Structure 1
Amino acid sequence: MIEASRICRCVICHDYGDRDDYDAADRGVIANVAEVGWSVTGVPADERGPGWAYTIGRWHRRGEPELAMFGLDLRVMQSCLNILGQRDGLADGQAHDDVVKGYPLRLRTVEPEWFRAFFGQGMWFYRHPPIPFLEVVWPDRDGAFPWDTGSAAQPHLWLKPDAHARNVWTQDV
């Protein structure tokens, strides 16, 4: 479990001396965090595997966990994360049945060992991870979650990497 310290060491709160090196994507994240309170970074699917999306800035702005979602259409994941991003008090084990019509979502705490593989821009932003992340987990069409079926359509980041089945999600861990 990550200790919830409110000392933020992100690139907004601390000058690391490299602000002149920020590219357009970096500046876009900072602008979104300043304007909305978070930014959603999308990693599109490619030949290596499915895409994912995650928030950056909720921890900075409100001391709330960042959110991550995997394996669906990028626009769907970004929409879900923006809806959930507005909510306070998100925590492990919660159910959210009002984000995607007809599909309940569940939140699970991400083990810090996964951060480097999936949250590169978030690590750039915070510089001193780990910070808390929650995986937004979705069910299959029959309403079963990955912990019920073992499905690899999305990673099981609530497990430590050595307890996770070897599949497309574990290739960078």
Structure 2
Amino acid sequence: MVGLDFGTALSVLNSIAHACRTGAAVAHPQTLATLLGHPQVFLQLRPVDPTWHTTSLFNVAREYFGSVPQAVQVVMADKEGRFPWDAGHSLGVRQPSLWEPYPGGWPDENTQ
């Protein structure tokens, strides 16, 4: 969760996990603000492109599960509700675009 302080990011991620555990329809891309009770934070879940699975971002998943399960990225909009793929997006920090194919060159790149 790029762009949020630790406490807010933890709350948002825990809310998403709780929604999933209770059977809420958390389809992606879906705006989650109302569902999660965080009306000031506009979010969407985007599927992570499988080309990212060989990077160091997913080392823990490979270590514990032997492979990378289907992953989604929680993407945050700016204060005007614009997402990184929208014109005029201005969050102030750059979120990695894991929904796009991996361009190469990630720090500490790891291959399976």
Match for residue 43 of structure 2?
105
Unaligned runs of 5+ in 2: none
Match for residue 78 of structure 1?
10
Structure of greater relative contact order (alpha carbons < 8 Å, 6+ residues apart) = 2
Asked if the contact 1:105/1:136 (under 8 Å) is kept, the reply is: yes
Percent identity between matched residues is 30
- For residue 90 of structure 1, the aligned residue among 26, 29, 35 is 26
Q: Which amino acid aligns with 1:142?
A: E
The RMSD of aligned alpha carbons is: 2.5
Runs of 4+ in 1 over 3 A off after TM superposition: 149-152, 170-173
**Deviation at residue 121 of structure 1 after TM alignment:** 1.9
- For residue 160 of structure 1, the aligned residue among 84, 92, 101 is 101
Give TM-score scaled by structure 1 length.
0.49
**Deviation at residue 144 of structure 1 after TM alignment:** 1.1
What number of residue pairs does the alignment pair up? 99
Q: Which amino acid aligns with 1:114?
A: W
1:20-59 mapped onto 2 (5 Å cutoff): none
The superposition leaves residues 49-100 of structure 1 with CA deviations (integer Å, 9 ceiling, x where unpaired) of: xxxxxxxxxxxxxxxxxxxx33422222221110000123423211112232
| Structure in which a larger fraction of residues adopt strand | 1
Give TM-score scaled by structure 2 length.
0.71
Higher Rg of the two aligned structures: 1
Match for residue 118 of structure 1?
57
Call closer, same or farther: CA 1:153–1:136 in 2, change over 3 Å: same
The superposition leaves residues 28-61 of structure 1 with CA deviations (integer Å, 9 ceiling, x where unpaired) of: xxxxxxxxxxxxxxxxxxxxxxxxxxxxxxxxxx
Unaligned runs of 5+ in 1: 1-68
Match for residue 84 of structure 2?
146
